[in-house]
Structure 1
Amino acid sequence: MGEDENVPADVEALLLDRDTQIRASGDELACRQGAWAGGAEAAEGHLRRVVADLNRVPELVVEHAEFGHYGSGYASFVDVFLTRRDGSARRVASDGYTTVEGLSVALCRLAPIACILSPGERSHHPAGRGYHSLPTLDAVTEMVIPRGEEGCEQISRVLDRHGITLVGPRLLSRPALPHLKIDTNLGDGPRYSIFDVWFHWMD
Structure 2
Amino acid sequence: MSRKLTTDPAALRSAANDQLASTEGAWAGGAVAVEGFLRQVVADIGRMPTLSVADAEFRHYSSGYASYIDVFITKRDGSMCRSDSGWTEVGGLPLALSRLAPLAALFKPDVRSSGPGGAGSRGMPDLSLVTDAAPPGWEEEFRQIGQALDRHDVALLGSQVLSLRLEAGLRVETNLGSPPYSVFDAWFHWMD
Normalising by the smaller structure, the TM-score range is over 0.9
Moved over 2 A (4+): 10-13, 143-148
Mapped partners of 2:9, 2:73: distance in 1: 33
1:134 to 102, 120, 124: 124
Give the aligned partner of residue 196 of structure 1.
185
Question: Given the alignment of the two structures, is residue 86 of structure 1 paired with residue 77 of structure 2, yes or no?
Answer: yes
The one of 140, 143, 161 aligned to 1:153: 143
Q: How does 1:110-129 map to 2 (within 5 A)?
A: 110-129=100-119
**Cα distance in structure 1, aligned partners of 2:62 and 2:136:** 31
Seen in structure 2, the aligned counterparts of structure 1 residues 145 and 127 have a Cα distance that, compared at 3 Å, is farther
Match of 1:20 in 2: 11
Name which of 155, 173, 177 aligns with 2:163. 173
Aligned partners of 1:145 and 1:127: how far apart in 2? 33
> How far, CA to CA, are the matches of 1:105 and 1:62 in structure 2?
10
Deviates more, 1:22-31 or 1:135-144: 135-144
Supply the AA of the counterpart residue of 1:23. Answer: S
Residue 145 of structure 1: CA displacement? 4.3
Distance 2:173 2:118 in 1: 28
What is the rounded CA distance, in whole Å, between the counterparts of 2:93 and 2:8 in structure 1?
29
Alignment of 1:46 with 2:37, yes or no, is yes
1:104 aligns with 2:104: no
Q: What residue number does 1:4 align with?
A: none
In structure 2, what residue type is equivalent to 1:35? A
CA RMSD of aligned residues (A): 1.1
Separation (CA, whole Å) in 1 of partners of 2:135 and 2:56 = 18
173, 176, 184: which one pairs with 1:183?
173
Tell me which residue corresponds to 1:76. Answer: 67
Cα offset for 1:150?
A: 1.2
Normalised to the residue count of structure 1, the TM-score between the two structures is 0.91
Equivalent-residue separation in structure 2 for 1:20 and 1:150 (angstroms): 33
Which structure 2 segments of 5+ residues have no match? Answer: none
Go from structure 1 to structure 2 and tell me whether the alpha carbon gap of 1:50 and 1:12 turns closer, same or farther (over 3 Å shift).
Answer: closer
Amino acid across the alignment from 1:25: A
Structure 1 residues 99-142: Cα deviation after superposition (integer angstroms, max 9, x where no partner)? 11001110000000101011001100032100000001111112
Q: Which amino acid aligns with 2:102?
A: P
Please give the per-residue CA displacement for 1:57-99, whole angstroms capped at 9, x wherever unaligned.
Answer: 11010000000001100000001001111111111123x2111
Q: Aligned equivalents of 1:144 and 1:122: distance in 2?
A: 20
Using the aligned pairs only, state the percent identity. 50
Task: Extract unaligned runs of 5+ from structure 1.
Answer: 1-9
- Matched residue pairs, number? 192
TM-score relative to the length of structure 2: 0.96
Q: 1-side partners of 2:116 and 2:145: how far apart?
A: 30
